[in-house]
Amino acid sequence: MDYNSNIQYHPTPSLFANSHSFTINGGNFHAFHDRVEGVSHQDSNSGGIDIVPRHYIRTGEVVRAKKGWRFNSATNRSARGKKRKSSRTDILIQTFEGPKAKQRWERTLRFARHLVNAHFLDIVGTSPASASQAEPHYIVFDGVAKRDTRRLIASMLRKGERETTALGLRTVLGIASGLDYLTNVRPSFSIDNVGFEHFDVFSDDRGCIKLSFTPDCPESAITDSGTTSTSSKMLSPTTSSILDSLITKIFNDANHIIYT
């Protein structure tokens, strides 16, 4: 018997007793009494992030779309248990499109895996690495905040001033906190060459903000190895400009949603 896997056994009779002439290549398998379950794995290109196969994902509606990428609400489903019952988890999936899809995916994945903050989407998985542009390239985020903030604000505008003000304050605070974290946590990161269009803004049902950052530009444009990390209680002029542009764009889009 030839195999290339990590096989873990609970104290039960061997699953492979009296078996002959078979090969297991790759993957991780866990033996639990009378079942064998394949689980997600990691590879060197994913930076330690779990690989989520495409057939595990059930794609839902489009939440946000831009030139080069789009976000969809989705569910991550995997079979578990003796009767192979399906377990579903809400997720938000960012899919990259166009001739530069692979490059955008690589840059975004490389950056997103370092962002651990309450105001940035939590990455939970990625597509398998592929040399082909034809294969899908996507990043899987936790689905807690999968509402389009523009549409959430539009729904509050219909309710009245009190609800809109409360949500607006949470939106401004959340975006400002996320941008402040981004500029202070990465010593080599320069926000000077980044526009507000590189950011997408999402909310949970309570209006708590989660940002996503897609560095749709050469990595050298946002990296300055000579910059040193400094703590500041005030946003830089560039960061403040991005904040103003994001807030203006979000509220203008919310009004457009209402009146069109």
Tell me the pTM. Answer: 0.74
Among residues 175, 67, 75, the alpha carbon closest in space to that of 118 is found at 175
Helix (H, G, I), strand (E, B) or coil at 180: helix
Answer whether 90's CB lies under 8 Å from 152's CB. no
Q: Which residues contact residue 233 at a Cβ distance below 8 angstroms, ignoring those fewer than 6 apart?
A: none
Displacement of CA 250 from its chain's centroid (Å): 20
Answer whether 15's CB lies under 8 Å from 22's CB. no
One digit per residue, pLDDT tens: the chain, 260 residues?
444 444 444 444 444 444 444 444 444 433 333 333 334 554 544 567 899 999 999 999 999 999 999 999 999 886 454 454 556 789 999 999 998 999 999 999 988 888 899 999 999 999 988 767 678 999 999 999 999 999 999 999 888 888 889 999 999 999 999 998 988 776 566 777 788 899 999 999 888 999 999 987 666 556 654 444 444 456 667 788 889 999 999 999 999 998 87
